[in-house]
Copies of this chain bind each other. A is one copy, B any other.
Amino acid sequence: MTLSPKPSTTLPDTGIYERRESAVRTYSRSLPRQFNRAEHVWIHDDNGGRYLDFLSGCSSLNYGHNHPILKQALLDYIAADGITHGLDMHTDAKARFLEAFEELILQPRGLDYRVMFTGPTGTNAVEAAIKLARKVTGREMVVAFTNGFHGMTLGALACTGNTGKRGGAGVPLSHVAHEPYDGYFDGDVDTVQVLDQRLSDPSSGLDAPAAILLETVQGEGGLNAASPEWLRAISEVARKHGALLIVDDIQAGCGRTGSFFSFEGMGFTPDIVTLAKSISGYGLPLALTLFRPELDVWSPGEHNGTFRGNNHAFVTAAAALRHFWANQDFEADIARRGGLLEARLDRIAARHGLTTRGRGMMRGIDVGSGAAASAITQACFDKGLIIETSGAHDEIVKVLAPLVIDDELLSAGLDILEGAVRAELGSTLEIAA
């Protein structure tokens, strides 16, 4: 683990993309290389460049790239002609996944969820969750939160706060009210009380909701981490008003915040949970919607999808659960490493009069503007560190390093980040001082 980043300076030939790929592509603009190989925390380009990955597929690669144990399980499965595409038929791979999920995730946590295999995208899991909540309650409105991000299909997009994303809908986004998230008004306003008052008031104009949908840490919305007290209180508001509580754990789940689910140990249990991103463990498409058994009122096939039985993902997901979640070592690792990350980011932030955000291994620094953040991430990339931004104005530089990163490499990456922050913001503060 003494490797250091080695960015390449040669730009690849991108003719095929210019000719054929839609202008909607985005990361290829800020990371202008053609990548061809990856392992652990490293991603390699065509010209021999090597990059330390602090993006991790937006938290889809919590166990790093191509983890050898998962890789071997997948190679074996493919070699043996295991079922690849199974619609929603029973398959060995699915059974193995469900057994591992039951044994290692649900039972130890005292959770009794049913598992719904939706189409293998997070947005599909969210659509299924809100459909189910509407069906169960007979209500239509969903309460989501400022800065929430839940996906790009029409139902999930209506729950998403970002104006740019919403504008892509081309039709008005309905049946969702966005309420202020924890800390939205700089702590001056009790946002639980605000929501409770509006739901209690028969003249507030806020219709009785089918569900309250939230992320415990808002991944795209700026790494805002709700406090346990706020989350617990919102869960009580949901129960009080007959709404189901949906935790969208697509980005914050699968260990990112320190525990498998981001809401563990907080004294409440969501009615519905969505998972995607790192659930397959290998970056393969997989998405789940979990819910209390009493809520399982679906008719067969009422929500379906061609790729809901992506068995390759079941295989790697089961392998990941057995490797990382059979005991508490991994959680202890994340806790310790998250502590290191926190300490380093706090120090960097303090030096520049900035603030940090987030929880566990899902943290960032608010550098004040999207322009500054962009300059910093660009400078990092030039040093071989892949790191991206988040927030309403893209003003948060976010660290989503693989959870399996060793401390030395985490430090090495943070050194690069620290240097880039200093280069961008240093002079400003010195003038101010």
Contact B66 A84 (CB under 8 A): yes
Q: Chain B residues near A66: list those with CB within 8 A.
A: 78, 81, 84
Contact B144 A205 (CB under 8 A): yes
B-contact 0/1 string along A167-183, CB 8 Å cutoff:
11111111111101000
Q: Chain B residues near A170: list those with CB within 8 A.
A: 130-131, 133-135, 140, 210
Segment from A9-17, A225-233, A323-331, A407-415 that makes contact with B = A9-17
* Most central of A121, A153, A221 by chain B CB within 10 Å: A153
- Smallest beta-carbon distance A202→chain B, Å: 4
Does A375 make an interface contact (CB < 8 A)? no
Contact A14 B90 (CB under 8 A): yes
Segment from A25-33, A257-265, A337-345, A347-355 that makes contact with B = A25-33
Q: Given A57-B87, A81-B38, A312-B284, answer yes or no on A20-B276 (Cβ-Cβ < 8 Å).
A: no
Contact B121 A21 (CB under 8 A): no
- Smallest beta-carbon distance A98→chain B, Å: 5
- Smallest beta-carbon distance A205→chain B, Å: 3
Does A74 make an interface contact (CB < 8 A)? yes
Inter-chain CA distance A190–B186, complex, in Å, is: 12
Interfacial residues of chain A within 56-76, with CB under 8 A of chain B in the complex: 57-58, 60-61, 65-66, 71, 74-75
* Most central of A17, A36, A90, A175 by chain B CB within 10 Å: A90
B-contact 0/1 string along A107-145, CB 8 Å cutoff:
000000111110111111001101101110000110011
Q: Chain B residues near A369: list those with CB within 8 A.
A: none
Q: Given A14-B90, A28-B88, A206-B178, answer yes or no on A119-B123 (Cβ-Cβ < 8 Å).
A: yes
Does A80 make an interface contact (CB < 8 A)? yes
- With A84-B282, A146-B203 given, can you name 8 additional A-B contacts, CB distance below 8 Å? A22-B116, A24-B301, A38-B83, A123-B305, A168-B302, A177-B177, A201-B392, A276-B306
Contact B28 A90 (CB under 8 A): yes
Q: Given A185-B189, A204-B146, A284-B312, answer yes or no on A25-B88 (Cβ-Cβ < 8 Å).
A: yes
Q: Given A20-B115, A303-B168, answer yes or no on A61-B89 (Cβ-Cβ < 8 Å).
A: no
Q: Chain B residues near A106: list those with CB within 8 A.
A: 20
* Most central of A43, A46, A55, A312 by chain B CB within 10 Å: A312
Inter-chain CA distance A4–B198, complex, in Å, is: 43
- Smallest beta-carbon distance A167→chain B, Å: 8
